[in-house]
Structure 1
Amino acid sequence: MFGPSELVIMAIVNRTPDSFFDRGATYGEAAALDAVDTAVDGGAGIIDIGGVKAAPGEEIDAAEELRRIGGFVSAVRARHPDIVISVDTWRAEVGRVVASEGADLLNDAWGGVDPELAEVAAEFGTGLVCTHAGHLPPRTRPHRIAYDDVVADIAATTTGLAERAVSLGVRPDAVLIDPGHDFGKNSRHSLESTRRLPELVATGWPVLVAMSNKDFVGEVLDAPVDQRLEGTLAATAVAAWLGARVFRAHQVIATWRTLRMVSALRGDVDLRIARRGVV
């Protein structure tokens, strides 16, 4: 359970050899477990484990996805009994295995393409992230995609998925919606989705944003993946101020500091140490 004013970091740990940001740095189990430890120590409240990169590439079937993350969820649970474990998957058969191993949250980044995933969440009592992915199949990039109103489409799609999940028995307090930055969107859509986050917050569902080092940041700054931290943190601060609750991130400590500052500016947390004017 997270408090109503608490800003939560979801740390990314990818068990993939070809992830766009770390290029496979946490593909090996030992490296991945070290990354989990570092993220927890850095202030992450959720660990998000993925076994398939989002971008197009080599076909990864369910068996290979489970080879990468099945068992690893159990290892993380044994190592960190109290951390919230999320698994980034769109497949119900994968969700069923990782839920049985102790996953608390199923992060469906592809917008309900497997409708049985919500049924798995209901069966096991896990949470569910309901994402807008532009109505595209998994691991496909948008091409000249257009919307009459991108935020209206996001709101209708994500709330529809959330309401369906609850109707199937998923806990209402464990459902989040995600506008899906860059998924089924060009960079202008992602920027507009950020500016208009209050419209998603107003739906009443907690909003998760996954903006870390994404292409919309890179296109604003004309910066490669390894030079997008400042842009990511700026977007993170704005999203937090506008009401987002959960922040999927690669760089946990920098993100924690950014969110701590936003929380202090909002009056939700106090100083960690007071010296100025008192000593």
Structure 2
Amino acid sequence: MMYYRPLVQHGDLRPEGAVPLAGGSSLWFSEAEVLSRDAPPCLIPAGLIPEDICHRLSGRRAAIAGLDMTQPQVMGILNVTPDSFSDGGRHSGVEAGCAAALRMVEEGASIIDVGGESTRPGADFIPEDEEIARTAPVIAAIREVSQVAISIDTRKAEVAAETLEAGAGLINDVSGFTFDAALAPLAAQAGVPVCVMHAQGDPATMQENPVYENVLLDVYDFLAAQVDRLEATGVLRDRIVIDPGIGFGKTQEHNLTLLRNLSLFHGLGCPILLGVSRKGFIGKIGQAPAPDARAPGSIAVGLAGLAQGVQILRVHDVAETAQAVRLWQAVR
């Protein structure tokens, strides 16, 4: 099998045969790197990419939860948990959670991702009723006072059902729809968009010894298979967002390999979400042991993702990221 990674460029002056990336107006490619599991990589002109793959690389992405996927979108992380790795306990409770969401909207978030179960390395399983009690009232409170897009960060169908009823409009599953067989049919029946993420192992054990044959192609193949399964269940491809799962069952070198090659994932024809905010590898490389001191590194990696066509940045530091995105757009 061959894989095609577009070499993403920007600028008004384009060579003949340049192809727009993901239907946008600012990024394009005229060459692609061809990858496979049994041959060295090589470069080809865009005109030699198979027609079906080129269509997915270049096709305009449909709006997700009412958000324009031709423009960068900032997703604010709202952990209503007592034990999340960087902000556990700060936003638990309806009043604190709602206030934090509204503040993130003012700062520039176009979608709020509400999570009631920590997925930090070593985190324990949370029963459905407890996760619902943490998330559904906060989502309902946000929806009463704001029309901002809300996603529910869960891997459980029962939690998704209750929170969709409360006002969420997107399901973000860190297990890539492998944990609960009822979740994909629920998403299809509800007609809501989904985000499918790659993770190797369970949060409790995922960082013990992650091993891949080829991390880039392994993650791509997993996401491709899960997108196909979601489509077969009834979730339309234009309602699927993909996330390579930086930091979920991956070493620092695995993370960096994925980040260097993010443009490969446009071949799935779906918007890409990038979640690197305050991750451990940013602390190690950036020499910032405290998670809340990692905004500069998180923003640097996020902007590098935007340069490869990523559509959604999932972040803790909304104001700082939104400011950086505005300046990044202005100078480009």
2:303 maps to amino acid:
A
Shift of 1:206: 0.7
**Rounded Cα–Cα distance in structure 2 between residues aligned with 1:226 and 1:254:** 12
Q: Shift of the alpha carbon at 1:212?
A: 0.3
In 2: Cα distance, 1:221 partner to 1:70 partner: 36
The reply on whether 1:162 has 2:227 as its aligned counterpart is yes
Question: How far apart in 2 are the matches of 1:9 and 1:219?
Answer: 24
CA-to-partner distance for each residue in 1:207-250, whole Å, 9 max, x for gaps? 00110000111121232212211111110110011111001000
**Equivalent position SS for 1:71:** helix
5 Å-filtered alignment, 1:129-208, equals 129-134=195-200, 136-208=201-273
Contact 1:11 1:47 in 2 (8 A): yes
Taking the aligned partners of 1:137 and 1:46, their CA distance within structure 2 comes to 26
Asked if the contact 1:207–1:245 (Cα under 8 Å) also holds between the matched residues in 2, the reply is yes
4+ long deviations beyond 4 Å: none
Question: Structure 1 residues 79, 139: CA separation in 2 closer, same or farther (over 3 Å shift)?
Answer: farther
TM superposition shift of 1:73: 1.6
1:38 aligns with 2:103: yes
- 2:329 is equivalent to residue 243 of structure 1: no
Instruction: Note the C-alpha offset of 1:103.
Output: 1.2
TM-score computed with the length of structure 1 as normaliser: 0.90
Cα 1:196–1:58 shift into 2, 3 Å: closer
CA contact (8 A) 2:116 2:131 kept: yes
Offset from partner CA, 1:48-88 (integer Å, 9 cap, x none): 0000111224542111111111222222111112x111010
Match of 1:13 in 2: 78
Q: Which residue number in structure 1 is paired with residue 176 of structure 2?
A: 111
Larger Rg: 2
Alpha carbons of structure 1 residues 4 and 53: separation in structure 2 relative to 1, 3 Å: closer
RMSD, aligned CA: 1.4
Q: Give 1:28 deviation, angstroms.
A: 2.2
Q: SS where residue 141 of structure 1 aligns?
A: coil
Match of 1:84 among 142, 145, 149: 149
Determine the C-alpha separation between the residues in 2 that align with 1:61 and 1:179: 26
| Amino acid paired to 1:232 | S
Change (3 A) 1:35 1:103: same
- Alpha carbons 1:103, 1:126 under 8 Å: kept: no
Check conservation: 2:69, 2:271, Cα contact below 8 A: no
Partner of 1:263: 329
- Structure 1: tracts of 5 or more residues without a match: 267-279
CA distance in 2, matches of 1:206, 1:265: 23
8 A contact 1:131–1:179 mirrored in 2: yes
Alpha-carbon distance in structure 1 between the residues aligned to 2:276 and 2:111: 16
Distance of 2:330 and 2:181 partners within structure 1: 40
What's the % identity of the aligned pairs? 34
Structure 2 gaps of 5+ residues are 1-65
Match of 2:127 in 1: 61
Deviation at 1:187, TM superposition (A): 1.3
Please give the alpha-carbon distance, in whole angstroms, between the structure 1 residues aligned to 2:219 and 2:239. 19
Looking at structure 2, the residues matched to 214 and 96 of structure 1 have their Cα atoms a distance apart, in angstroms, of: 29
**Secondary structure, counterpart of 1:74 in structure 2:** helix
Contact 1:54/1:138 (<8 A) preserved:
yes
User: Is residue 226 from structure 1 mapped to residue 226 from structure 2 by the alignment?
Assistant: no
8 Å contact kept, 1:16–1:26: yes
